Structure formats: structure tokens, C-alpha cells
Structure 1
Amino acid sequence: MSVVDWIAADWGTSHLRVWGFADETVVHAAQSEQGMGVLSRGQFEDALLTLTEDWLPEGRITPVVACGMVGSLQGWVEAPYRAVPCPPAGGGLVIAPARDLRLQVAVVPGLKQARPADVMRGEETQVAGFMARNPGWDGVICLPGTHSKWVHVSAGEVVSFQTFMTGEMFALLSRHSVLRHSVSGWEQAGFIQGLDQGMERPEWLMSRLFSIRAEGLLQGSDPAMARARLSGLLIGAELAAAKPYWLGQPVAVIGADELAQSYQEALERLSVPVTTHDATAMTLAGLSLARGHLPEGNPSCVN
């Protein structure tokens, strides 16, 4: 097997993804469902070793740089939030306790904002990766997902950010609410219809949502149209609320292909200059940047 110089880890609530690097080239990759949500503090090291044991050479320490919920209060070790405004990466890495002497695991801290109160873990690494690849870029970074983030960056710093529970609301409504009987599949025309309605009259969101169910009962509406419309309504309402972020700003969307494309299409309808970028690529670029802050020894915190 190829010799691994260091390991990057994206450790969320539900999944763990790891990449083994030879310098800056990925030579191994693996993933599991051993996310923070199913692990106790003493189980994190074993979950990591299950995926990477064969990558670790004997007789030397292999650095592991990890971001995400692994640094939460319920994670392997708490990596305290850094307050904005600040660079998205740079210092504050916390070393997780490891029994295996071949490992040195450094956890990237998240970011916090006092007013309005907000936090992020994991997204700061994607922001750092984007900024490393686009030096001098000022504007707004949109990170769609379970909890969408809108991040204003300027002069190399995260100035402010705002979170929307759009993805989680879509999952709850489409799977666990009365709307679950009316939505399935995807029809793009429904997304555009919902997007326009959500943007134009966000105060009508709660009523528009129930109309999806009523139209299914009374008019036999297409479930694929209905599901796409549900997504459009929620994203439209998010965009209406996030207008202070995207108005007059270039926007970079970082996310998975289909969801990122939905946000790009929505922003283009508003004539916002927008580009889309792969989330995994930005995560790895950010973790590579964080690697530059690793210590030579093994302190508990890296400043």
C-alpha cells in the first residue's frame, strides 16, 4: 500500500469520511456510518482505526486532521469555538487523546457568533478551503445542507454568518408530517413554482405548505410536482430572509451536486453572480490548510 504522510477526516453527526494523503495526493479513502451521533467519547479512536489501521506505518506518528462534530461537546474532544470576525482557519487546533502511539489527532474548532447567536462546525473548513483556492475573494459563501449557512467573508476573515434549518425542515415535512402522503419523486417545474412563491410571499409559507396536502386530496396533484414545490417553497423563504447577504454580492455555493445546483438556479433567477464548488474538494483544501498549524510535539491545544 502507498505510504500515508497524513490523514484528513470529516467527522459529522452521522458519517465519518477519511482520506490518506501522500503529501498532497489522496492515495486512500474510506467512510463509515460511525458518526458522532452513535459514538461515546471512548469509541472515537476505534472508529477511526477501523478505517485507517492498514494505512498507519509502524514506528512513526501519522498526523490526523479532523473537522466537524468530532470537536463538539459530545465528540472525541471539545474544540472550543472561535469568535468571528476571524479567519476561517488558523490556530485553535485541539489534540484528541489517543491510546495508539501511531496517531496524533488534531481537531479543527468551529466558529461562533454572539449576535445573532449562531455556530458552525465543519463548514468553517470548507470556507477556509475555498478562500485558500481563491485568495483575495470577497463576497458571500452559501453552504446548503441540513442546516444551510450564509457566510460573509472579507479581507480573509469570516465577518458574519447566518444558519437556516431548511434541509432539516424539508426532511421532517416530507417524511414525518401530513405532507408525506402527497410528495414523492421530483419535477423541476414544481421547484420553480414553489421557489417563486416562497420568495414573493415568505409570510405565507405555513399556508402554502398545507396547500400541498390539500391540492393532493382535492385535485390529485402530481406527487413529484408536490415534492419539488415543497423544496422550492422552503428555499425561496430562506432566500427571502437571506437577502441582506446575497444582495449586491458575488455568491459561491459549496455543496453536493443536486442541492448546490438548486441553490445556483435559484440565485441565477435573482440575477445574483454565482459559482458552484464541490464540498469534498473544499473540505480537503481546508484540512490541508489546517495541517500547517500542527505542532511538532503533542500539546493539548495548538495556537
Structure 2
Amino acid sequence: MKHLLAVDWGTSSLRGALLDRHGKVLQERTFARGILTVPPGEFATVFEACFEPWTRAAGTFCLISGMAGSRQGWVEAPYCACPAGLDDIARQLVWVTPGCIAIVPGLRCEQDSIPDVMRGEETQVFGALQLLDLRDAVLVLPGTHSKWVRVASNRMEHFTTFMTGEFYALLRQHSILARTLPGDDGDLDVDAFNQGVALALHSASLLQTAFSARTLSLFERLPAAALPSYLSGLVIGEELRTQPLEAGAQVVLVGADTLTQRYELALAQRRVPVRRVGQDAAWRGLWAIASALSSSPTGIP
């Protein structure tokens, strides 16, 4: 493998990076070509149109993570069961073109006979572990569907999904609160955000605290511009309230700065220190999976 074309193909966007044999990012590209924009049977065409100069270079191997492996994607990649390490994922790659293009399987786990799944976050987790030189960690990947992941001995033991971002959007756009909140979120109001987190951490349920966004506005105790930050604090605080975290227990946050900053502020109220890793964790994770494949007895077919 001379070069790795690492691809993160999600619901709304398509990102790719060209890596050398040591995992160094040489070039990056981003397109508004998430899987929902691709007609059935057109994934190969879109892929080639976006990355043709890279795919035609000799010795380039492509590894794709994310929703491209879902039922609505290019080729369905069955979920790999937890606990799982890099070797388990490498063994369950689904080949689009043998020896050239492969799709990373998502992960699944169960708690109380209820299944949970992820696609794409697993590569970010392993990338973050490598970047921070960790084998054991609690990681949080904020987003529309936030993931809390527990890793032991470099194996993902368990994870839990919280629909935090989606609930924020639903409350923000489709509840009675939408009539009070301004048209756009604006910049983060740290004081209002922290106020929302504090209330959530000391209350019983978001079903009760969410209405406070309306009443605080009604009695002019929060300006309208601060309400989106306050509501964001409420939903993120609700997520954190359910976590069995001890003061001083470190958490690794993986994702865009705009979201990880908020989680860092919220976790500070529980006296939990954090380490943050950016979205380049996906590239490092795909490189780690490709390296595990290359070092396996069967290697790249």
C-alpha cells in the first residue's frame, strides 16, 4: 500500500483524505454528496468523479467508513459485534473491489436485550486512541446522535447512543419553544449555556426543564438571543446527568470544536477533565484499520 484514500461518507457529506504509508495526510477534499444525494446505482460514479486523480495513482488502496455501508449506501456492511478491536473490524471489511476498495463495518452492542449501533464513529474512536496513545478510555462523540464509548485494552467494549442533537433540533424547530427562540442560533452565550447545564444536572427530567426556556423568556429573565445556548445547555446537561462519572475521571471528546467546546464546558460542572481530538481522528482510524489489514496473515486480497 503506497497510499491510502481514507473516505468518510456520511448522510449529508462526503470527505476524503490521501494518506502516505506512514499515515500523514497529504491532501483533503470535502463534497456535499452525502449518501442521501446519490441515486441508487450511482455510488461508483460519484466516488470516481470526486476522487479520480487519487484512485488512478498506482498503489492506492481505498477504505470507506460511515453510512456508505448502510442499507441506503453503496454496499451494506453487516455490523461487527462488540467487544471489537482493530483486527475484528479488519476481518469483516466488505469489498467493493477486491484489493482496491473496501467498506468498514459499523459496530453493534446490546444492553438489556436492546441493540445499539454506530457507523463511522468506530474509526474516529480508534483514531483518537492512537493520536493520544491510549488503550483504555471513555470517549464521547457529540453530534446529532451522540455516542458514549468505553474502551478497554484497545477494544471497544460497549457504547450508548443519545439523540441529543436531534432532540435539540426538534425542540428548536417544532415545539412551542420555536415561537420564542430567534431565527438563528448565533454565537454561543457561555453564561446562558452553563445555566442550562446546571439546571439539567440538578433536575429530574428534560420533559420538565425544557419548558423553562419559554418561561424565562416570558418573564424576561433571559434575552431571546441567549435562549438557543440555554436550550443547548439543557439537552447536553440531560445527557451528562445520566452518566456515572466520577470527579477527576478523564473523558476524551472527539469531533468538531463547536460541539466539543460545549461538552467540555458541561463536563467541567461535574469536575471531569477532558482531552479533545478533532475530526482528523477519522483519517487516523482508517489508517489504523488499513495497517491492521496489511499486517494480518491474509492481508489485502
Measured against the shorter chain, the TM-score band is 0.7 to 0.9
Structure 2 counterpart SS, 1:42: coil
Deviations 1:119-151 (A, max 9, x none): 111110011112223445322001111111110
C-alpha contact 1:21 1:27 (8 A) present in aligned 2: yes
Partners of 1:65 and 1:291 within 8 A in 2 = yes
Partner deviation per Cα, 1:239-261 (whole Å, 9 max, x = no partner): 011x2256663211111102101
Cα distance in structure 2, aligned partners of 1:188 and 1:134: 28
Letter in 1 for 2:108: K
TM-fit CA distance, 1:180? 2.1
User: What's the counterpart of residue 301 of structure 1?
Assistant: none
Moved more, 269-278 or 176-185: 176-185
Given residue 284 of structure 2, which amino acid in structure 1 is its aligned partner?
A
Instruction: Give 1:262's aligned residue.
Output: 262
In the alignment, what sits opposite 2:54?
55
Contact between 2:63 and 2:103, CA under 8 Å: does it hold in 1?
A: yes
- How far 1:181 moved relative to its partner? 2.6
1:202 maps to 204
Partner of 2:104: 108
Identify the match of residue 177 of structure 1 among 172, 175, 178.
175
- Cα 1:22/1:61, change in 2 over 3 Å: closer
Q: Does 1:73 align with 2:76?
A: no
What runs of 5+ residues in structure 1 fail to find an aligned partner? 299-303
Q: Is 1:239 paired with 2:257?
A: no
2-side partners of 1:25 and 1:45: how far apart? 26
Cα displacement string for residues 60-118 of structure 1 (whole angstroms, at most 9, x for unaligned residues): 463111100011121111111111112154421111259xxxx9211111110122421
Structure 2 unaligned residues grouped into runs of 5+: none
Cα distance, 1:6 vs. partner? 2.5
CA contact (8 A) 1:63 1:104 kept: yes
After TM superposition, give the deviation of residue 164 of structure 1 in Å. Answer: 0.3
CA distance in 1, matches of 2:59, 2:247: 48
> CA 1:122/1:247 → structure 2, altered by over 3 Å: closer, same or farther?
farther
- Alignment pair present for 1:151 and 2:149: yes
CA distance change for structure 1 residues 190 and 297 in 2, over 3 Å: closer, same or farther?
Answer: closer
SS of aligned partner of 1:202: coil
What TM-score does the superposition give when structure 2 sets the normalisation length?
0.87
For 1:225 and 1:297, locate their aligned partners in 2 and report how far apart those are by CA, in whole Å.
53
Name the amino acid aligned to 1:252.
Answer: V
1:42 is matched with which residue?
A: 41
Q: Which moved more, 1:111-120 or 1:215-224?
A: 215-224
Aligned Cα root-mean-square deviation (Å) = 2.3
Q: Deviations over 1:246-288 (max 9, x none)?
A: 666321111110210111111122111321111x221111010
Of stretches 148-157 and 180-189 in structure 1, the one that deviates more from structure 2 is 180-189
1:141 touches 1:251 (CA, 8 Å); kept in 2? yes
For 2:16, what is the secondary structure of its paired residue? strand
Secondary structure of the structure 1 residue equivalent to 2:169: helix
Tell me the TM-score normalised to structure 1 length: 0.87
Q: Is the 8 A contact 1:147 1:166 kept in 2?
A: yes
Aligned length: 287
